[in-house]
Structure 1
Amino acid sequence: MGYFCITFMQAMSPENSSNSRPTRAEEPLRPRAALRAIQSQARYLFAPEEFGRLVGRDGDSMMVKKALHRLTLQGLITLASRRPTSYLIVPAEQMHYGAPPITWWIDDCLKRIEPHYYIALLSAARYWGSAHYAIQEAQVMVSRPRTTATPGKLKVTFFTKRKISGTPVVVVGSGVAPWRVSTRAATLLDLIRHQDDVGGIEAIARVAKDFSSQLDRRCG
Structure 2
Amino acid sequence: MTTEDVAILLDIPSEQVRVRLASLRRAGAIVSPARGLWVPVPPERVAWGAPEPGSYIDDMMTHLGCEYYVGWLSAASLHGASHQAVQEFQVATSKSVSDRQVGRSSLRFFARSCIKTIPAARVAVSASLMRVSTVGATMLDVAEDLNVSGGLDNAATVISELAWEGEGFLSDVLVAVPAHSFTAVRRLGWILENIAGVDGLDDLADAAAEGGESPSYLSPTSIKSGRLDHRWNIILNRKVDPDV
Counterparts in 2 of 1:106 and 1:202: CA distance versus 1, 3 Å: same
Q: Any conservation in 2 of the 1:81–1:149 contact (CA below 8 Å)? A: no
Provide the rounded CA distance (Å) in 2 between the counterparts of 1:158 and 1:55: 33
The CA RMSD measured in Å over matched residues stands at: 1.7
Match in the other structure for 1:188: 139
Within the alignment, does 1:51 sit opposite 2:6 as a pair?
Answer: yes
Q: Any conservation in 1 of the 2:90–2:109 contact (CA below 8 Å)? A: yes
Provide the rounded CA distance (Å) in 1 between the counterparts of 2:128 and 2:172: 25
1:114-152: CA deviations, max 9, x gaps?
Answer: 553111100000011111221221111111221112111
Provide the rounded CA distance (Å) in 2 between the counterparts of 1:186 and 1:207: 13
Q: Percent identity?
A: 29
More strand, by proportion: 2
Choose 1 or 2 for highest CA Rg.
1
Match in the other structure for 1:175: 126
Displacement of 1:102 after TM fit? 1.2
Displacement of 1:176 after TM fit? 0.9
SS where residue 48 of structure 2 aligns? coil
Correspondence for 2:15 among 60, 80, 91: 60
Q: Give the TM-score of the pair, scaled to structure 2.
A: 0.65
Q: Any conservation in 1 of the 2:28–2:49 contact (CA below 8 Å)? A: yes
Match in the other structure for 1:219: 172
Match in the other structure for 2:99: 148
Bigger shift: 71-80 or 104-113? 104-113
What does 1:101-120 align with in structure 2 at a 5 Å threshold?
101-111=52-62, 113-114=64-65, 116-120=67-71
- The amino acid across from 1:51 in the alignment is V
Match in the other structure for 1:78: 31
- The amino acid across from 2:50 in the alignment is A
Flag structure 1 segments of 5+ consecutive residues without an equivalent. 1-45
Counterparts in 2 of 1:126 and 1:176: CA distance versus 1, 3 Å: same
Within the alignment, does 1:128 sit opposite 2:79 as a pair?
Answer: yes
Q: Any conservation in 2 of the 1:114–1:142 contact (CA below 8 Å)? A: no
Match in the other structure for 1:12: none
Flag structure 2 segments of 5+ consecutive residues without an equivalent. 174-244
Q: Any conservation in 1 of the 2:31–2:50 contact (CA below 8 Å)? A: yes
Counterparts in 2 of 1:79 and 1:175: CA distance versus 1, 3 Å: closer
